[in-house]
Amino acid sequence: MASAPPLSELQGWLAAVWTTREGVDAALKSPAGEKARRWISELRPPSARDRLAVYSDAYFLRLLESLGSEFPAVKRALGEDNFRKLIADYLSRHHSDSPNLSDLGSKLAEFSAAHALSKRFPYLGDLCRLEWEVLSALYTDRLPPLDPAVFSRLSPADWEKAALVFDPTLSLLEVSWPVDRLWAQRSSPAKAARCVWRTPRPGKLAVWRDDEWVRVESLEQEAFLTLESLMRGTSLPAACAASGAEADELKSWFAAWAKEGLIKGLR
């Protein structure tokens, strides 16, 4: 018998076999497959092929299931078969290189937007982007609640320069399709999912996490732009002046943002 392969080579051959999209039989015809098979014990049935197949079959199903649980609205909107096709294509281009399975979907939005399925489902890229933001909000630590006393401690001169601190889970998203509606329906039966909008309906979304879970809300254009400007660090007076909104309107935005726990302090 030839001398045993170094561990690194053996692992390289096996990883190539188990991640072959066409399955174990195609993989075993490749040079890596032929080499790997030679080192699998066949002292008793099942065959080396069947033993390798256990791992090949499990590989795709595991990653498909994981992405399905992290992109439930995408899965529901596309249906099982299209979702499976999208993920098979995605995994052919992007293998996991992270110890955390949650990283696997990081390029799905970009990939989906350019995928053939986005012709039939033009909102696909937007919906993936939204679900990725939701996942990111889920795995971001929140700041402690706002202490209202910080406002009363400010001198008039400080007010001129004061900027708001927002919760790190908050992100803003501009979308071409109202995908927040698809996200809201992610857990309801799939038969209602076939909504197709014929023309884009641009929208502005805010994503953040509250005490319970991740929230997705649609924002009016002016509120979105003001919030975006404040999040970039623009001072309160400057952002308010630039918004062009009436004082009452500004007050109602700030009250809502404070109530939802988006504002966490002053800088």
Partner 1 sequence: MQKRAVSGVGLGLRSVHYDHVLSRRPAVPWFEVISENFMGPRGGSGGRPLEVLAKVRREYPVALHGVSLSIGSTDPLDFDYLKKLESLASVIEPWIVTDHLCWTGAHGKNLHDLLPLPYTEEAARHVAGRIEKVQDAIGRSIAIENVSSYLSYKHDEMAEWEFIARIVKTTGCGVLLDVNNIHVSAINHGFDGEEYLAGIPVAAVRQMHLAGYSEENGFLIDTHDHPVSDPVWKLYAAAVRRFGAVPTLIEWDEHIPSFARLQKEAAKAKEVQDGVCAAAV
In sign, the C-alpha dihedral spanning 109, 82, 138, 104 is negative
Residues whose CB is less than 8 angstroms from the CB of residue 265 and which lie 6 or more positions away in sequence, other chains included: 143, 146, 147, 150, 164, 165
4 binds partner 1 (CB under 8 A): yes
The one among 139, 151, 159, 197 contacting partner 1 by CB under 8 A: 139
Give the interface segment with partner 1, choosing from 47-55, 187-195, 220-228, 257-265 (CB under 8 A).
47-55
Residue 124: Cβ within 10 Å count: 26
CA distance 162 to 112: 41
Give the interface segment with partner 1, choosing from 1-9, 78-86, 218-226, 243-251 (CB under 8 A).
1-9
10 binds partner 1 (CB under 8 A): yes
Tell me whether residue 18 or residue 83 sits nearer to partner 1 (CB atom).
18
The answer to whether the CB of 145 falls within 8 A of the CB of 246 is: no
Helix (H, G, I), strand (E, B), or coil: what is residue 199? Answer: coil
Label each residue of 142-175 as H, E or C.
CCCCCCCHHHHCCCHHHHHHCCEEECCCCEEEEE
Tell me whether residue 140 or residue 234 sits nearer to partner 1 (CB atom).
140
Contact characters 55-84, partner 1, x per CB under 8 A? x--xx--xx--x------------------
Tell me whether residue 104 or residue 236 sits nearer to partner 1 (CB atom).
104
CA distances from 49 to 39, 41, 217 (A): 11, 10, 51
Give the interface segment with partner 1, choosing from 79-87, 123-131, 139-147, 252-260 (CB under 8 A).
139-147
Nearest distance in Å: CB 150, partner 1: 24
Q: How far apart are the first and last CA of the chain?
A: 71
Contact characters 95-134, partner 1, x per CB under 8 A? xxxxxxxxx--x----------------------------
φ, ψ for residue 121, nearest 5 deg: -125, 75
B/e letters for 175-204, b = 16+ CB within 10 Å, e = fewer, are bebbbbbbbebbeeeeeebeeeeeeeeebb
Residue 244: Cβ within 10 Å count: 11
Contact characters 208-247, partner 1, x per CB under 8 A? -x---xx---------------------------------
174 has which bridge partners? 204
The answer to whether the CB of 207 falls within 8 A of the CB of 171 is: yes
Tell me whether residue 102 or residue 252 sits nearer to partner 1 (CB atom).
102
Tell me whether residue 194 or residue 213 sits nearer to partner 1 (CB atom).
213
Tell me whether residue 142 or residue 181 sits nearer to partner 1 (CB atom).
142
Name the residues that contact partner 1, by CB under 8 A: 1, 4-8, 10-12, 14-15, 18-19, 38-41, 43-46, 48, 50-52, 54-55, 58-59, 62-63, 66, 95-103, 106, 135-142, 169, 209, 213-214
